[in-house]
Amino acid sequence: MENIFLLQVKKLTKHFGGLAAVQNVSFEISRGEIVSLIGPNGAGKTTIFNLISGVYAPDSGEILLDNENLVGRRPFEVCQKGIGRTFQIMQPFPHMTVLENVIISSLFGRVPKISMRQAEEETMELCQLVGLGDKQKAFPRNLTVADQKRIEIARALAIKPKLLLLDEVMSGLTPTETGEAIKLVRRLRDNGSTILLIEHVMKVVMGISDRVIVLHHGEKIAEGTSTEVANDPKVIEAYLGEHIDESGEA
């Protein structure tokens, strides 16, 4: 019987010096879910992403993708196992076009390797999917923040990930651009992606999440639907006593 959980994080702990950035955190993600990881600044969200993607090694705990433990694997190995990731700070190759930026991921992030022709064909399809179909020959420096974030997403998708980690892909966007990004995330899920995202825009979290996981001071303090989490006293207290309602207002 196939394991319903694509990702299992078990008692994950990471210290930096004497500070516990992540402490005994456990959660699971099922195939096809959109799960949001939220919490105040410094809660440990990006550290969790860095642990899952192999940037950091945990002090203790397990990270299982399809029941295979990823702990101890380097970032490129984690990528090849099927975890694609975006970053808060976008760093596209400035002297390459949009198409070339995404092709790089196809060629070097996949196992087994694929041909240049296949990479080009798949990349053109990805550019269409994320909304860059008419900008494939453009250089990143000439694009908006929203379009540069689409490059990040396309590069992460180019490795054909089992799990897609989206790190604040809505930050810095206008309301219109945010609406378009929400539609894109839903479209990715409809196309078969499983998504774990870090997001500060609560309207986004409330609108697209199947489940929400809340971190505070490196510990998981709540998990559930957006409604359950928004009304959890521990979550309200963590957000400075401000009630988070369904509209995303804090």
Q: Is the backbone peptide bond immediately before 40 cis, with ω within 30 degrees of 0?
A: no
Kindly tell me if the per-residue pLDDT of 105 is higher than 80: yes
pLDDT, one tens digit per residue, over 15-38 is 999 899 999 999 999 999 999 999
- pTM: predicted TM-score of the whole model, two decimal places: 0.91
84 close to 153: Cβ distance less than 8 angstroms? no
Q: How confident is the model at residue 92 (pLDDT cuts 50, 70, 90)?
A: very high
pLDDT, one tens digit per residue, over 126-159 is 999 999 999 999 999 999 999 999 999 999 999 9
Mean pLDDT for the chain?
91
Q: Where does residue 249 rank: exposed (0-12), middle (13-18), buried (19+ CB within 10 A)? A: exposed
Q: Measure the CA angle with vertex 129, ends 45 and 67; round to 5°.
A: 45
187 close to 229: Cβ distance less than 8 angstroms? no
**Tokens representing 135?**
């900008």
Is the Cα torsion angle 148, 150, 152, 154 positive or negative in sign? negative
Distance CA 245, CA 7 (A): 29
pLDDT, one tens digit per residue, over 159-206 is 999 999 999 999 889 999 999 999 999 999 999 999 999 998 888 888
Residue type, 2: E
Distance CA 53, CA 41 (A): 20
Q: What's the confidence (pLDDT) of residue 245?
A: 52
Q: What's the confidence (pLDDT) of residue 114?
A: 86
Q: How confident is the model at residue 109 (pLDDT cuts 50, 70, 90)?
A: confident
Kindly tell me if the per-residue pLDDT of 250 is higher than 90: no
Q: What's the confidence (pLDDT) of residue 3?
A: 63
CATH code of the region 5-238 = 3.40.50.300
Per-domain boundaries in the chain: 5-238
Residues 211-238: what's their mean pLDDT? Answer: 93
Is 240 or 58 the better-scoring residue by pLDDT? 58
Q: What's the confidence (pLDDT) of residue 125?
A: 95
Distance CA 58, CA 47 (A): 10
Q: Could you tell me which residues come within 8 angstroms of residue 29 by beta carbon, excluding any fewer than 6 positions away?
A: 5, 6, 7, 35, 163, 194, 196
Kindly tell me if the per-residue pLDDT of 1 is higher than 50: no
**Tokens representing 46?**
């990006």
Backbone angles phi, psi at 41, to 5 degrees: -55, 135
86 close to 166: Cβ distance less than 8 angstroms? yes
Residue 152: HSE in the Cβ half-sphere, 13 Å Cα cutoff: 23
In the chain the first and final C-alpha atoms are separated, in Å, by 42
Helical H runs in the chain?
Answer: 45-52, 75-81, 98-108, 116-130, 145-157, 175-190, 202-208, 226-230, 233-238
Q: What's the confidence (pLDDT) of residue 4?
A: 82
**Tokens representing 81?**
């196992």
